[in-house]
Amino acid sequence: MSPAQHPQLNTPTLNVLVVGNGGREHALAWKLHQSPSVAQVYVAPGNGGTARDQRLVSLPQLSATDVVGVRTWAQANGIGLVVVGPEAPLAAGLVDELRAHGVPVFGPTQAAAQLESSKAFSKAFMARHGIPTAAYDTFTDAALAHAYIDKMGAPIVVKADGLAAGKGVVVAMSLAEAHEAVDFMLEGNKFGVQHNAGGARVVIEEFLQGEEASFIVVCDGKTVLPLATSQDHKRLLDADQGPNTGGMGAYSPAPVVTPAVHDKAMNEVILPTMAGMAADGIPYTGFLYAGLMITPDGAVKTLEFNCRMGDPETQPIMMRLQSDLAAVLLAAANQQLAGTELSWDSRCALGVVLAADGYPLTPRKGDVITALPVDTADAVVFHAGTTLVGDELQTSGGRVLCATALGDGVKAAQERAYALVDQVAFAGMQFRKDIGYRAL
Ligand code: AMP
Ligand code: GLY
């Protein structure tokens, strides 16, 4: 959107509050700060990176899921736009609370966020509205789940029905692994899933083969605007080995999303989802992330919905975005997205996640980050699990940093991102050495 269309946006008067503390929120805050309309960007609670950045104001005392606390603070501090990053405050009803008090907010309501917070909800929604996805069944009874696995055979996929920070999914290559996953999720709850009402429940679904892509759109309830395409690396280890994680690296654009795949994703997944949500009486506003599987025959199937931007996809996507993000999200918050266009840097952006020792199951905290490069306009180390303790940056989460860079082509972006990685040091640092390999 050009400033000429919105002359009131020419003077920086807008105070924006970004809710969350991950790499995604650091990247959103970094980009929002560049908007000509923005006076100040606050981040609640933020992380070590947002706290250290003089251009941002972090609010470490404000918890993202304290919906009344965040709303009260936003009202008291003249916030003109709240952007909610993670799923937990969305599932806790932060958007509903802000809207009820007239605070402009970009994000889905609690009811709409069930597309992510309940696998059972989203699978039933997709079945009802004919949105392509893997065949599935839902179980609360472990014996029935075990019997279903034996009937269907392996490989098979077991998903916890609740928020699990990307770790509630087991792609079981053997029957034994699938049975063990059911025991973990229905009995042991080893993954620390926040169960939905009715207690522990699993979705067991058909294994899909193909290449994944992250398809993320901005929605205002009526109009949909696709972001640049991206691809994430979900497995911990090189060559897509090891356990699933929240994401070990990402890049944009994703060549697997050809124009034909893009059309299918919009026409078969995104637009029917918008129409279905509206028909069900819960119009969708906010970022919507469809995790897609592009099968070898070119079909597009929905693996999952997330009701937010991806992390780490946000980091490369924000580096490529040239439009005024605050103007776009404010227009969306006011149901005025129609006519808005986004412009993108034609270069590739690639981000490498630097994770803590023990990630994903038992990440160690408190390691000191002893080396970090200086950011430039097109090479930035975004923070995720870091905390500022005095002048010292310490690790405080599983995914610690995301070294992200732009380059002419995937290879150049990859080289520049890994040049950043070489300049980072903390004990136990784990990272993949092959981010972007599918696009090379
Ligand atoms: P989800 O949170 O549902 O996206 O699952 C996390 C990851 O597990 C996905 O990104 C895929 O890599 C993998 N996955 C999920 N569902 C399937 C499936 N039906 N077939 C194959 N892989 C899957
Ligand atoms: N990177 C995948 C996600 O944000 O869920």
Model confidence pLDDT, tens digit, residues 264-273: 999 999 999 9
Q: Does residue 154 surpass a pLDDT of 70?
A: yes
Rounded (10°) CA dihedral 7, 12, 13, 17: 120
This prediction has a pTM of 0.92
Of 235, 134, 269, the C-alpha closest to 438 is 235
- The response to whether residue 87 sits with its C-beta less than 6 Å from ligand 2 reads no
What does the pLDDT look like over 336-362, one tens digit per residue?
Answer: 999 999 999 999 999 999 999 999 989
In terms of C-beta density within 10 A (0-12 exposed, 13-18 middle, 19 or more buried), how is residue 371 classed? exposed
> CB of 313 closer than 6 A to ligand 2?
yes
Is 125:133 a contact under the CB 8 Å cutoff? no
The CB density around residue 141, as the number of other CB atoms within 10 Å, is: 12
Structure-block tokens of residue 281: 């009486």
For residue 162, pLDDT over 90 is answered with no
Tokens at 53, concatenated? 């950045």
pLDDT, one tens digit per residue, over 244-254 is 899 999 999 99
Return d(Cα 219, Cα 328) in angstroms, integer. Answer: 10
CB of 249 shorter than 6 A to ligand 2: no
Name residues whose C-beta falls within 8 Å of residue 428's C-beta, 6 or more positions apart in sequence: 356, 357, 358, 364, 367
What pLDDT score does 160 carry?
A: 86
Q: What is the pLDDT of residues 355-365, one digit of tens each?
A: 999 999 899 99
Q: Which atom of ligand 2 is nearest to the CA of 166?
A: 5
Please report, for residues 169, 228, 291, 323, the alpha-carbon distance to residue 132 in angstroms, rounded to integers and kept in the order given. Answer: 19, 22, 12, 32
Q: Which residue, judged by its Cα, is nearest atom 4 of ligand 2?
A: 310
Does residue 439 carry a pLDDT above 90? yes
pLDDT tens across 210-234, in order?
999 999 999 999 999 999 999 999 9
* 190 has pLDDT over 70: no
pLDDT confidence of residue 119: 83
Instruction: Compute the average pLDDT of residues 417-438.
Output: 98
Two structure tokens written together for 161: 């029905």
For the chain, what is the mean pLDDT? 93
Q: If you search the block for the tokens 């997205």, which residue do you land on?
A: 337
Residue 5 has pLDDT above 70, yes or no: no
Given this model, what pLDDT does residue 428 score? Answer: 97
**Rounded to a whole number, what is the distance in angstroms from the first to the last CA of the chain?**
33
Does residue 41 have a pLDDT over 90?
A: yes
pLDDT of 8 reads: 53
Query: DSSP assignment, residue 166?
Result: T
Which of 180-194, 276-290, 335-349 has the lowest average pLDDT?
A: 180-194
Pocket of ligand 1 (CB under 6 A): 134, 157, 159, 169, 171, 205-208, 212, 234, 244, 291, 303-304
The predicted model gives 390-400 an average pLDDT of 97
Which tens digit of pLDDT belongs to each residue from 68-121?
999 999 999 999 999 999 999 999 999 999 999 999 999 999 999 999 988 889
93 Cβ neighbours under 8 A, 6+ residues apart: 67, 109, 110
What distance in Å separates the CA atoms of residue 358 and residue 366, rounded to the nearest whole number? 13
- Gap between the Cα atoms of 145 and 161, Å rounded: 13
Q: Which ligand is nearest to the CA of 313?
A: 2
Output the pLDDT for position 118.
86
Can you give the pLDDT at residue 186?
A: 84
Query: Which pLDDT score, from 0 to 100, does residue 10 have?
Result: 59
